[in-house]
Amino acid sequence: MAAVRNAVVLAGGKGTRLAPYTTVFPKPLMPLGETPILDIVLRQLVGHGFSRVTLAVGYLAELIEAYFGAGERLGVSLRYARELEPLGTAGPLSLIDGLTQPFLVMNGDVLTTLDYGRFLDEHVASGATATVATFRRTHTVDFGVVEADAGGLVLDYLEKPAAEYLVSMGVNALSPEALEFVGHGERLDLPELILRLIRAGRAVRSAPFDGYWLDIGRHDDFAKAQQEFAAHRADFLGA
């Protein structure tokens, strides 16, 4: 019997970077066209074989619960883990029962064409404790950068240098043993959990992705996501 694909979607943040919209509206319900971003994420998860999803909620949780209910409309078994106080991006995992198989944990405001099912399967096959989905980003400094020694002598002058980084996509796969590093009710973010695993000698993988990915947490990115989703809806939802 195949393992049940289980996901935890983080939907409890205040979305302060998208204020004033998120003052009275939770960020996961911010719409791309007429469809909330969290609705898109859940449809993608269902399409990639996930049958159980837990929404970690906090800020304006009642609006999210009223919109999605138990998940019948989307064909998924949906439950909620409500924070009484903010627990970060990893802390809510300590509130969720039944995470006995490798599972996905991801942000609820990610627009991507990543195949979540394949990502989880590759994590399981690797035997790692955690896998972080990563995306290559280039950062360009908009100024001339001067390198000088302690005495003020200029050693180099770089005009608008660029550097490449692997950035986290906000999508991760964890094996159950990772939960041993999260205290019950502890406020903890995923980067710190990943560092705890590394320091303990556990295997943590990077899984680079070269498809489409956008975090809609900022106004500019939200506007871009609106355009991209309208133009390429089928790429994200397969219909």
Assess contact for 192 and 199: CB atoms under 8 A.
Answer: no
pLDDT of residue 17: 52
Phi, psi for 152 (deg, rounded to 5): 90, 5
Domain that holds residue 173: 5-132+168-237
- Of 14, 27, 160, 224, the catalytic one is 160
pLDDT tens digits along 47-60: 999 999 999 998 78
Is the whole-model pTM more than 0.85? yes
User: Has residue 145 got a pLDDT over 90?
Assistant: yes
User: Has residue 113 got a pLDDT over 70?
Assistant: yes
In a domain, 197, yes or no: yes
Phi, psi for 54 (deg, rounded to 5): -110, 125
pLDDT tens digits along 189-219: 999 999 999 999 999 999 999 999 987 766 6
Q: How many structural domains are present in the chain?
A: 1
In a domain, 45, yes or no: yes
pLDDT of residue 1: 41
Mean pLDDT for the chain overall: 89
In a domain, 137, yes or no: no
User: Has residue 107 got a pLDDT over 60?
Assistant: yes
In a domain, 145, yes or no: no
Cis peptide preceding 20, ω within 30 of 0:
yes
In a domain, 147, yes or no: no
Known catalytic residue: 160? Answer: yes
In a domain, 139, yes or no: no
Cβ contacts of 55 within 8 Å, gap of 6 or more: 9, 11, 38, 64, 68, 78, 79, 80, 81, 108
Element (H, E) at 213: strand 213-215
Return the CATH number at 13: 3.90.550.10
Which residue type occupies 226?
Q
In a domain, 188, yes or no: yes
User: Has residue 15 got a pLDDT over 60?
Assistant: no
Mean pLDDT of 171-185: 96
